[in-house]
Amino acid sequence: MPTADPFQLLDDPQEWSAFSRLIDAGAGLWESQVVVGGMHCAACSVTVEEALRRVPGVQTAAVSASGQRATVQWRAGRVLPSGWMAAVVGSGYQVVPANDAFANTQRKAENRAALWRWLVAGLCMMQVMMYAYPAYTARAGDLSAEMEALLRWASWVLTLPVVFFSCGGFFRSAWNDVIHRRIGMDLPVALGIAVTFAVSTAGTFEPAGTFGREVYFDSLTMFVFFLLSGRWLELRLRARTAGALEAVMNRMPEGAERQAADGTWERVAVRRIGVGDLLRVQSGQSFAADGVVEQGASSVDEALLTGESRPLRREVGAEVLAGSFNLGATLWVRVQRVAGNTRYAQIVALMEAASATKPMLALLADRLAKPFLLGVMLSAAGAALWWWDRDPERALMVAVSVLVVTCPCALSLATPAAMLAAAGRLAGGGVLVRRLQALEELARVDTVVFDKTGTLSRDQLQVQGVQTRAGTSQAQALVWAAALARHSMHPASRALVRAQGALPSTASTESAWQCAEATEVAGQGLMGSVVSGTGTTQALRLGSAAFCGVAPTADADTEVMLSDAQGWIATFSLEEALRDDAQACVDTLRAAGVDMQILSGDSVHAVQRVARTLGIAHARGGCSPDDKLHALRALQAKGHSVAMVGDGLNDAPVLAGAQVSFALGQAVPLAQARSDFVVLGAELMPVAQTLLLARRTMSIVRQNLAWALVYNAVCVPLAVAGMLPAWAAGLGMAGSSLLVVGNALRLSRAAS
């Protein structure tokens, strides 16, 4: 068990950024993420939380037994990391900083130790079963007293490694519970193992005594093997369910190559990198900070940061993100953002906060865990007392069966296992879950409200139609308009340039028109001259109808005019480009029985056009943030459960007011996002997929809870009645926990 001494190294403020982030500089409030080892159940997480909250200077503590993580907020002026970490160790658990290399080492060591205990238990169980076999099959007189005693002694010797090595984890955890005056889920298991071994040992040493009629070494080794099988597989399954979360959280390198003042390259720790440093990133390495490429060209993998599954080309002047991988040639990167200011750090902060939060059902399980365990102990004692007058030996074994079979591991794992599996799957698809509770709420949503600009549509215009006067082709009009538009950064000008670039090469370049001069009149348009390759000059105006001297139309706010000295040449109809998967998202939600609405600050005409295109019946334009919030409250007053989908830039009130909220787009300030889900990529379909996955998650949770309750309702009476042997109780407990975690694991590969 680690001591507090190694943690004193973490009291250096320069080390804090490796596992903490500053929340309030004025108050010296920090939030740290740590990995807690040795937790197996809800009671364990409650114990660690209580130990942390008793430390002066610790503001809050949230611990997840399923995620093996803790989020601790503490004040630097009152306590240092070594102080509250020592409290965790003092409560009987191990703790290391999250994202620390030692955390992975510790996890591997824990898995390796669990595997060895399981192997020893399995080998000894098979040998003990071999020695017990004659006692089950022999007829009267087949076994002499000496032979029976020899078989018992052989079984006792083979049981010793199981009890003193394989069961070491159970006994250590139970002893910690005793000395700290608490009840954990390993305490009844350890008592059951100790009682069974003591009864069987007494029967071996005194065959004629009270407990000499029968020994239970075969049952003992068998149910220990079953328990360890469940515990080991549970560790493996937990690692898989949290795999996507861990993949994102542990993408940062331990160090990076930085150019020194003399021009040489030196290897430094990531926390020593500063803004303005020049880094060299080799092929296969991850970027240690956000920055701009100064030299080189390569492809990078940003799949887990932006949701973009394809490798992206990055050349000189392009931005790269911390935590993404360089897939090609070496890049030289000038650092722009480090530590907690990077996009990666903001994403990790959201994910870590989500992994430590607890849904309402999990909180209920936590509150019930200790009273339930106390009830288990009392039930076992009551069953033993009831059977004692009839058969003392059987009374103790009945108590053992009750202790083992009623351990509420499955109940405590039912909700968090499913939630973490769903969060891991969403993280792999570019959706961050800020609150696990939001998955419960999203499953009940019956109405989705969309913002338009930046949500259903992209933040750019596109040319939808071109009308021209007689004698002028659409291609010619686009070439003239684009020649002028290249001298403006207005969104309409950019749309015309893109439309001209999409023309066939012959139509786009046959006249080779260039703009000789151009003048932009703010809010009205452009005027200038364009010259062809043969020297022909054309004076043009591009912009509003009034600026071009033509009559306005009903759709003037979405049209751009082109005119010359003779008058009108062309009208370009513009509209915001819908996201490529907007229709698919809407269709999927509609098929799921979800009603949809649009609330947007854009013009009524533009909103209605998008609504007609997507087939959304209810749409309102010209809405202020307050208007959106009032409309949302009206829906909620009618009993609807509403999810709001926006770009997170000007929708903070309505995002905060909805039962569930999504923020889309890479421009969202992640650290201040008010949403429950953050969609990192440029697609809208993850919104529908998340809703479907939330419904499936709650279905899995209900299945898990139903199984845990049915299992206890059936097995507890059988154990009290003496009809459930110890080995079957161990099998039931292990199998129940394994079934719950395995059922949750289906979410990590479920089709959305």
pLDDT at residue 105, rounded to an integer: 66
Backbone torsion region of residue 430, taken as left when φ is above 0, otherwise alpha when ψ lies between -120 and 50, otherwise beta: left
Domain boundary among 98, 115, 142: 98
Cα–Cα distance for residue pair 635/259, rounded to 1 Å: 58
- Average pLDDT of the residues in 501-523: 74
Same domain, 116 and 231: yes
Q: What is the CA radius of gyration of the chain?
A: 34
Q: Give residue-wise pLDDT tens across range 585-603.
A: 999 999 999 999 999 877 7
Whether residue 248 lies inside any domain: the answer is no
pLDDT band at 667 (very low <50, low <70, confident <90, very high): very low
pLDDT band at 1 (very low <50, low <70, confident <90, very high): very low
- Average pLDDT of the residues in 724-736: 71
Same domain, 92 and 111: no
Residue 299, φ and ψ in degrees, nearest 5: -110, 145
Least confident of 64-78, 164-178, 358-372, 421-435: 358-372
Predicted TM-score (pTM) of the model is 0.61
- Average pLDDT of the residues in 57-76: 83
3-state secondary structure of 307: coil
Whether residue 713 lies inside any domain: the answer is no
Same domain, 221 and 324: no
pLDDT at residue 293, rounded to an integer: 93
Burial 206-241 (b: 16+ CB within 10 A, else e): eeeeebbeebbbbbbbbbbbbbbbbbbbbbebbebb
Cα–Cα distance for residue pair 131/150, rounded to 1 Å: 9
Domain of 329 in residue numbering reads as: 255-345
Which residue is associated with the tokens 């943030």?
Answer: 625
Same domain, 130 and 232: yes
pLDDT for 671 beyond 50: no
pLDDT at residue 210, rounded to an integer: 67
Whether residue 89 lies inside any domain: the answer is yes
Same domain, 364 and 220: yes
Domain boundary among 517, 546, 578: 578
HSE toward the beta carbon, residue 575, CA cutoff 13 A: 19
Same domain, 436 and 505: no
Same domain, 445 and 336: no
Q: Give residue-wise pLDDT tens across range 154-207.
A: 999 999 999 999 998 888 888 877 887 777 777 777 887 888 888 888 888 887
pLDDT band at 641 (very low <50, low <70, confident <90, very high): very high
Instruction: Say what percent of the chain tops pLDDT 90.
Output: 19
Whether residue 236 lies inside any domain: the answer is yes
Same domain, 145 and 211: yes
Whether residue 702 lies inside any domain: the answer is no
Helix-strand-coil percent breakdown of the chain, rounded to 5? 50, 20, 30
Same domain, 294 and 333: yes
pLDDT band at 544 (very low <50, low <70, confident <90, very high): confident
Same domain, 226 and 125: yes
Domain boundary among 545, 578, 611: 578
pLDDT for 446 beyond 90: yes
Least confident of 139-143, 649-653, 729-733: 649-653
Same domain, 129 and 231: yes
Domain total of the chain: 5
Whether residue 489 lies inside any domain: the answer is yes
pLDDT at residue 580, rounded to an integer: 83
Cα–Cα distance for residue pair 372/109, rounded to 1 Å: 32
- Greatest Cα-to-Cα distance within the chain, rounded to the nearest angstrom: 123
pLDDT for 627 beyond 60: yes
- Domain containing 533 — which CATH number? 3.40.1110.10
Whether residue 605 lies inside any domain: the answer is yes
Whether residue 651 lies inside any domain: the answer is yes
Cα–Cα distance for residue pair 739/384, rounded to 1 Å: 30
- Domain containing 28 — which CATH number? 3.30.70.100
pLDDT at residue 584, rounded to an integer: 94
Which among 167, 218, 124, 158 has a CA at the least distance from the CA of 728?
Answer: 218
- Domain containing 323 — which CATH number? 2.70.150.10
- Average pLDDT of the residues in 397-426: 73
Same domain, 463 and 573: yes
